[in-house]
Amino acid sequence: MWSYFSMITALPMSNMAMDTIRNRLLEKLNLMYNYITAYLSKRNDRSVKALINIFYSFIVKGGSIFVQFALVPLTINYLDKYQYGIWLTMASIFAWFSFFDVGIGHGLRNKLAEALALNNFNLAKIYISTAYAVVSIIFISMIAIFWFINPFLNWNNILNVPNTTDTNLGTLTFVVFSFFSLRFIFGLIGNILYADQKPALNNAISSIGNVLALLIIWILTNTTEGSLFWVGIVYAGCPLVIFVFFTIFLFATKYRLIAPSYRFVKIKFLNQLLGVGLQFFIIQISVIILFATSNILITQFYGPEEVTAYNIAFKYFNAIIMIFGIIMSPFWSAITEAYIKDDINWIRTTLQKLNKIAILLVFIVVVMYFSSDFIYRIWIGSEVNIAKSVSLLMAIQVIVSILYLPANIFINGISKIRMQLYLAMCSITITIPLAFIFCKILDFGPSGVILATICSTLPTGIILRIQTHKIICGKAKGVWFR
């Protein structure tokens, strides 16, 4: 068939024939354009905006997922699985400090979305200016405090690393911590993009940082010997540089009217950001307990090498969470807007579609589990061994998350998170004790940490789905509607 096609295209063609083909092609393209335009014109503007963002996010985030997967074997080859485990544990510790914005970032996202929905740009500027001022004070103060106490911390003991390690962990931790802290200040631009229902642009910014890190690690691999210090600088510094650039660029152009200004810092508006923000803060603390501490618990119980195996399985299965996140990210602020405008029918229809997508993704996770050993060999090689129990429990953990994420994004979007707050506090109290029981008493190995996380998230997912149903049906009262 291909040879037949080649023969036809090789025949000489007259100008008239070429004109006929060109006209037919233009006619087909015009029909396609009219079909797409007619389809989009029938849909809610909010839905169109979400679909456009999902389309661009898939293009951008798909490349980002590929880059993140490529970074793992490249970094392991540059270092080794032991030093890579040290870096993962260190990064998990510093991830804790991101939540010291006491939820202002999430509060800004919701309140700014409300202000933009009402076209109140003056109020939007106040929210942004106040958020930047407070977050800057918090994290710059944290850098100063860390500079003072860091010399007294024994990072070799904290990371369970022998004192014979060549890397000066004290210097590395201070530099990386400073970069992490500054990134949380400039990363507020991401909350603004989400509030403006432009998650695709935020994903593009993050992806550029990952690509830059991949490029530099590749250069280091070909020019220097393995250095944990330079890996830390690259991983922490590249996102910061990109966020600084786009913060300056966007506030000088697209968001010039709502750019932060010290004259618009109004501390009395901080309560509005913190009203929901403080609740988000406690919820985020539970996220730390559920996920960020996993690396620390594993390195303390079993050593840094097991952290590498756990993290590879986590990245593999969490790719589905990232994909679902691409689909759902435009809907958080869209739901906020719809709820402000009392468009419950749109919210109900949207959640039904998201739940159907969730069920489809569950089947994909099952396929990923049965093909995991094959994928690991292609991706990482034989250097790192991942236990089948780790893959199985990681798959179950991801399935639990997928099934309740639509309800979670709805509740976050309308700021009715009091029930989620109570559930988060329960998670904080049970996760670490459960991990200790499963790992040290029942001797489940690293799988015990994942099992503890599942036991914490499963009840949360069930209750949040019940709450969503009550709110949509107008039956929520008391803590279900707060």
Name, in order, each residue with C-beta under 8 angstroms of 469's C-beta and a sequence gap of 6 or more.
none
Burial class (CB in 10 A: 0-12, 13-18, 19+), 445: middle
Distance between CA atoms of residues 35 and 477, nearest Å: 45
Cα angle, residue 225 at apex, residues 221 and 231 outer, rounded to 5°: 65
**Contact (Cβ atoms closer than 8 angstroms) between residue 449 and residue 388:** no
> pLDDT per position in the chain (482 positions), as tens?
433 333 433 444 444 554 555 556 555 545 554 544 444 444 556 666 666 766 666 676 667 777 777 888 888 888 877 777 777 777 777 766 655 555 677 778 878 888 888 888 899 999 999 999 988 998 899 899 988 888 888 777 777 776 655 567 778 888 888 888 898 889 889 889 888 878 778 778 888 888 888 899 889 888 888 788 888 888 888 889 999 999 999 999 989 999 999 889 888 887 777 766 667 777 776 766 666 677 777 877 777 777 778 888 888 898 888 888 878 877 877 888 888 888 888 888 889 989 999 999 999 999 999 999 898 888 877 777 888 888 999 999 999 999 989 998 888 888 888 888 888 888 878 888 888 898 888 888 888 888 988 988 888 889 999 999 899 888 888 888 88
CA 73 to chain centre: 21
For residue 448, the model assigns a pLDDT of 87
For residue 169, the model assigns a pLDDT of 78
Distance between CA atoms of residues 179 and 177, nearest Å: 5
Distance between CA atoms of residues 31 and 37, nearest Å: 10
For residue 30, the model assigns a pLDDT of 56
Distance between CA atoms of residues 445 and 306, nearest Å: 10
Name, in order, each residue with C-beta under 8 angstroms of 22's C-beta and a sequence gap of 6 or more.
none
Distance between CA atoms of residues 192 and 188, nearest Å: 7
For residue 166, the model assigns a pLDDT of 54
Distance between CA atoms of residues 269 and 105, nearest Å: 14
DSSP characters over 166-211: SS-HHHHHHHHHHHHHHHHHHTHHHHHHHHTT-HHHHHHHHHHHHH
Residue 345 identity: N
Count the neighbouring beta carbons within 10 Å of the beta carbon of residue 290: 21
Distance between CA atoms of residues 464 and 53, nearest Å: 26
Distance between CA atoms of residues 431 and 408, nearest Å: 20
Is pTM beyond 0.85? Reply is no
CA 478 to chain centre: 31
For residue 370, the model assigns a pLDDT of 94
The label of the residue with tokens 């709502």 reads 258
Instruction: Take residue 262 and report the two structure tokens written for it.
Output: 């010290």
Phi, psi (degrees; rounded to nearest 5) at 412: -65, -40
**Contact (Cβ atoms closer than 8 angstroms) between residue 341 and residue 206:** no
Name, in order, each residue with C-beta under 8 angstroms of 477's C-beta and a sequence gap of 6 or more.
none
Residue 390 identity: V
**Contact (Cβ atoms closer than 8 angstroms) between residue 57 and residue 200:** yes
CA distances from 94 to 81, 105, 106, 174, 189 (A): 20, 17, 19, 10, 20
